[in-house]
Amino acid sequence: MKVRSTSILRRTLAALALTATLGLAACGGQNEDPSAASDAGAAPAASDAGGAQAGEQMPEADVSDVPDVVATVNGEEITKDDFVQVYQSQFQQMTIQSQQGGEPVDEAALKEQVANQLVDNELLRQGAQDAGITASDEDIDATLDQIAQQNGLASGDEVVSTLTQQGYPEEQVREDAASQFEISTYLEQEADIKEPSEEELKAQYDALAEQQTQAGGSAEDLPAFEDVRDQLAQQAAAEQQNEVATSLAKTLREAGDVTVNV
């Protein structure tokens, strides 16, 4: 499961594609694949999509059948507006993939998937609140700075500026960053995240090299292990955290009152 990730500028917060942001998730994506790393950093997803289509018109997602209240989670509503922001972003990404692979997007399945992602995010957000976790202004600023660093931007202010230019109010961006911090902190409290060993990281790197070769490329095209070591470690931690998020959200759902209308 991926918690509303900061996929505007990263493909995971998730740092986690695990992260907990709606507005941040609606804008684009960070490269999770170390093979795509570069000194320039990740570009905003809007530019990536435009480049991928080379000027072609992107099809619009059909949200005419989406109800005003997509889901209710312990009395809290997930609205159509909340849903559409995330769904349209994922629909565009899936459309690009389908154009490359030749298979159409299963919109019904994607809608169900997005709805359940948002439900799980809300369950985790409520769990963080129940645990007494609240993001301070300093926590929000630090989270935005972290997102900036992960995406090759100069500062959290640049993250805010990028998103506001794409139509997201600064207040919403900061609220989303706060949710990201709270959920991440909650999961860190619940998870026993273990630092991967050097041998495990090298094995992960070797697996990437093998995938590169099987895809018809050359392992020599990958950045050096030392250049992506930290990113591999972050990915390993994110995978552990995602497993905890999935399990915890399932437990919270079973104990809660959840209605999904999609």
The more confidently predicted of residues 215 and 25 is: 215
Eight-class DSSP state of 20:
-
Residue 165 in this model has a pLDDT that exceeds 80: yes
Spatial neighbors of 196 by CB under 8 A, at least 6 apart, are 204, 232, 233, 236, 237
Does this model's pTM top 0.85? My answer is: no
What is the pLDDT confidence band of residue 57, given thresholds at 50, 70 and 90? low
Inside any domain, residue 85: yes
Inside any domain, residue 173: yes
Nearest to 93 by CA among 32, 41, 37, 139: 32
CATH number for 87 = 1.10.4030.10
The domain of 213 spans: 34-260
Inside any domain, residue 22: no
Residue 163 CA to residue 170 CA, distance in Å, equals 8
Inside any domain, residue 8: no
* Residue-wise pLDDT tens digits, 183-224: 989 988 887 778 889 999 999 999 988 888 887 888 788 889
- Count: domains in the chain: 1
